[in-house]
Amino acid sequence: MWHTLLSLLAVVYAIRWIVNFRQAARSLSNLPGYRTLLHSESNLGNFLPKIRGIVPGTNFPFIDKHSVFAWAGCDIVGHVSMFPCKADIVVADAAVIKEITTSRSRFPKEVTQYGTFSFFGPNILASEGEIWKRYRKISAPSFSERNSRLVWDEAVSIMNDLFNSGWENKKEISVDNCLDITLSFSLYVISAAGFGHKMTWKENKAIPPGHLMSFETSLYTVSTYVLQRLLLPDWTVGLTKKTSQIDLGFKELRSYMIEMIEARKNSEEVKRHDLLSNLLLANASDGESEGLNADEIISNVFIFLLAGHETTAHTLCYTFALLALHPDEQEKLYQHIKSVLKDPRVPTYDEMSLLTRSMAVFNETLRMYSPATLIPKCSAEDTTLTVPNAKGETVVIPVPKGTNVFLHIPGLHYNPKYWKDPFSFYPDRFMQPNWNKDAFLPFSAGARGCLGRKFAEIEAMVAITMLVSQYKIAVQEEPRFAGETWEQKKERVLKATRVLTLTPVKVPLVFTRRS
């Protein structure tokens, strides 16, 4: 009897879930797209690979690129899941994305998805409305022209230190994973130009008095294991050596940030232009509000650190991999740099606008390997979105209030409607004056566009220009891969996973000093 009753209950619940699932799909007029048992943002869905009909997969936007939109015949698709039962909209149309990013009242940012980044306190990334406006007002002046010059100078100094000290002017340097180089470079730039904390390639491992971990190790630990720490209950952090080390990394990073803040507050006699000094100055002079409290300063400093460190490092790693795989494009870039820097010297900040191919190479890498793959928004009202389908017909899509709307960046960046031969590495597309800026979204857009965009572009241009001007880049030859084709090598070297952002798995390169 009990067995029969339980079976009946199971059938009733199954029917109910199926009905709810169909109702969710109908709320979007049965818009074609993803239909899965689990949502990609659910706790379990966050860690599972792609399983057709079960879960899209942890890195589904990058893996699918524009294919799901091509299959649906429309650059807006639906994503309907059963657990939890919900219906989202996913967009890869440039005009619709521009409408969404410029309509903040209709489509505010879905900040609940950024709760991961609030463990130090409220911040600009995980806020919206009046609180976000307050953070933006105080933070924006930090990214000044003087700071931009400082970024350039510090990046040049760090690259010179890499060549002379880190690599000791060797003729050839082999690295098993280029990400180790770009993560360190990006960290040193954000440390120096962001917080006045200078680091060198040979002295960064030292643990200062009062600490149990170096600054570099603490930031690496936090950026690598932020999701794991979020999911770990506090009582579990000391159960294993690994969880203890993760917890220590978070505590140490907070301690370092407090020290940085106090050091800036107590150095009034020195005029500084790093981000932290500018942030504290803007905070102190903000007469229209109470300014940021200690937790808000620490949390926003952390966001600058994390965003400025990981995203640029990953993009630079992909840049050097792509140049290694495309020696013809590398030679074009080298010749362009030589035409600007006629003498063997480092580039100056005033020459940045002349280094157009360095910027084009960086932009093409961002197009192909954008750090963020989905940008979440939410519909604040019942509304509609209008898009043409593959047949040229106008499709009006209902967007009920509360619906999550995701901007699908790889879908946009690989959309053949905007980019000819989108799977090819072709920096020349960004050398044209009329390239489609609305179809390029690595830094988001609208009012929520990335504050640190110029910071990232400057440090990337320095790294690309200086490295290519002095070294040839090639993929490291390994006997076990001797028989692979170029396509197989490309797939191996450019393999990506998703942690916080799109992340290179392993990029083995060789840098050979030019004559």
Q: In this predicted model, what pLDDT tens digit does every residue of 347-371 receive, in sequence order?
A: 999 999 999 999 999 999 999 999 9
Decide if pLDDT at 192 tops 70. Answer: yes
User: Does an H or E element contain 280, and which?
Assistant: helix 275-284
Decide if pLDDT at 436 tops 80. Answer: yes
Dig out the tokens for 21 from the structure.
Answer: 């699932």
CATH number assigned to the domain comprising residue 340: 1.10.630.10
The pLDDT value recorded for residue 32 is: 92
Is 79 part of a structural domain of the chain?
A: no
Is 153 part of a structural domain of the chain?
A: yes
Residues 6+ apart with CB under 8 A from 470: 163, 513, 514
| Average pLDDT, integer, range 202-231 | 80
- Contact between 219 and 191 under an 8 Å Cβ cutoff? The reply is no
In percent, how much of the chain has pLDDT > 90? 52
Summarize pLDDT for 73-125 with one digit per residue, the tens. Answer: 999 999 988 888 889 999 999 999 999 999 988 999 887 777 767 878 888 88
- CB 40: neighbour CB atoms within 10 A? 22
The pLDDT value recorded for residue 314 is: 95
Summarize pLDDT for 27-45 with one digit per residue, the tens. Answer: 888 899 999 888 877 666 6
Decide if pLDDT at 430 tops 90. Answer: yes
At residue 39, what is the residue type?
A: H
Is 39 part of a structural domain of the chain?
A: no
Domain containing 131 equals: 120-403+449-513
317 is in an annotated binding site: no
Decide if pLDDT at 287 tops 60. Answer: no
Is 177 part of a structural domain of the chain?
A: yes
| Average pLDDT, integer, range 45-53 | 76
Is 52 part of a structural domain of the chain?
A: no
300/160: higher pLDDT: 160
116/172: higher pLDDT: 172
Residues 6+ apart with CB under 8 A from 147: 193, 273, 274, 275, 278, 455
The pLDDT value recorded for residue 44 is: 65
Range of lowest pLDDT (11-15, 157-161, 278-282, 475-479): 11-15
- CB 42: neighbour CB atoms within 10 A? 17
Residue 344 DSSP one-character state: S
The pLDDT value recorded for residue 2 is: 64
Decide if pLDDT at 442 tops 90. Answer: yes
pTM of the model: 0.92
Omega of the bond prior to 427 within 30 degrees of 0, cis?
no
Range of lowest pLDDT (151-155, 203-207, 217-221, 490-494): 203-207
Is 486 part of a structural domain of the chain?
A: yes
Is 172 part of a structural domain of the chain?
A: yes
Going by C-alpha positions, the residue among 294, 208, 291 that lies closest to residue 258 is 294
The pLDDT value recorded for residue 70 is: 97
The pLDDT value recorded for residue 23 is: 86
The pLDDT value recorded for residue 381 is: 95
Count the domains in the chain: 1
Is 340 part of a structural domain of the chain?
A: yes
| Average pLDDT, integer, range 384-401 | 94
Residues 6+ apart with CB under 8 A from 205: 214, 216, 217
| HSE (side-chain half, CA atoms, 13 Å) at 202 | 9
Summarize pLDDT for 398-415 with one digit per residue, the tens. Answer: 999 999 999 999 999 999
**CA–CA dist 253, 119 (Å, integer):** 12
Decide if pLDDT at 270 tops 70. Answer: no
| Average pLDDT, integer, range 490-512 | 93
Q: Which residue has the tokens 């409607």?
A: 417
**CA–CA dist 452, 301 (Å, integer):** 12
